[in-house]
A = this chain, B = another copy of it.
Amino acid sequence: MQSTYYIGIDIGGTKILAAAATADGRIIARSKRKTYPPDAPDIDDPQALARRIAQTALDAMKKANLTKRDIKAVGIGAPGPTDVRTGYVFNAVNLPGWQNGFALGAALTELLKLPVFVDNDVNVGLLGEATYGAARSLDDVVGLFVGTGLGGALVLNGRLRRGFRWGSGEVGHTYLYWPGKKPKDIERIASRGAISKKLAKAVRKGKSPILAEILAQRRDQRITSGVIRKALAAGDPVTQKAVAQAQETLAVLIASITNLLDPQAFVMGGGLVESLGEPFLAPIRQRARELFFVRQRVDEVQILPAALGDDSGVLGGVALAAEQSN
């Protein structure tokens, strides 16, 4: 009988997610484990992490009552630029053992004895949205993911664009620039991380009593997307200003990308977009369209919220496995 299932894996800095699913994106079972168990003695051992990933994949397979014969391929999103042909991850800055590169594809193929395909996690997330999510009927999509940083990925003419050096989609590192100024990564303004940093400083300086009160109700002092949402709802002017600046910057970025590539759609996701929702996106959409150079069919360029949430990584892995093994 033909193998008609895939395993998708999402490797984050705190947890590993895996799912067994069909080619049309129906998830049969999920599994989950910590990327680094508490006080892990093996945090610098790249193979130890590979073994945990393999185990998570096998857990999902077993929970779905499947055997290796049922699995056609495994697809993984890794947090760093990746050579898709070989599954080599050049540098995963958040994963201690892999910071100087790791042959993840080879290691997992050996551990799982299954075909394994690896790509950058943002590419994989957008592939999930383009195959099963917000952009499933579209051929041409730019993904923008607003979280700790600003991640990006491109599907052009129905194919992920990976780049000459496996480095495309690093949209957080496109530049803010003004003559006479030093160019600055756009994610230093347009990300949840940048907003949090600015707000933490305002709290320290006593400039945002509203935010200080919200934070006082939390054990940690982390300015999460949820905290930002609460501060906006409470009318905090410091938060409003930082968010508005991120929105304007994202609108200019979308317009610049549109003038360069003229894509059919943008899909916006990440923690901040998921938390703030349509009130965050609507002004970006309107402002970006004002800035499009080609004035024909301005309203047809879609600016959509991501639809898969936390499943975008594992479903993207399934899409990657299906794409590369067919």
Contacts and interface: CB of A to CB of B under 8 A. Distances in A.
B300 A165 contact: yes
A90 B294 CA distance: 10
A156 interface: yes
A156 to B, nearest CB: 7
Interface stretch (A9-17, A176-184, A277-285): A176-184
B178 A293 contact: no
Nearest to A296: B165
A173 B169 CA distance: 20
Interface residues of A, number: 49
Given A163-B263, A264-B164, A294-B165, A176 B173 contact: no
B175 A260 contact: no
Contacts of A90: 294, 296
The SS class assigned to the A binding surface is: loop
A176 B178 CA distance: 6
A262 B170 CA distance: 9
A259 interface: yes
B261 A175 contact: no
A240 to B, nearest CB: 15
A301 B164 CA distance: 8
Interface string A111-149: 000000000000000000000000000001000000000
Given A170-B260, A176-B178, A178-B178, 8 more contacts: A162-B262, A165-B296, A165-B301, A167-B293, A175-B252, A175-B259, A179-B245, A183-B255
Interface of A: 81, 90, 140, 152, 154, 156-157, 161-171, 173-179, 181, 183, 189, 245, 248-249, 252, 255-264, 291, 293-294, 296-297, 300-301
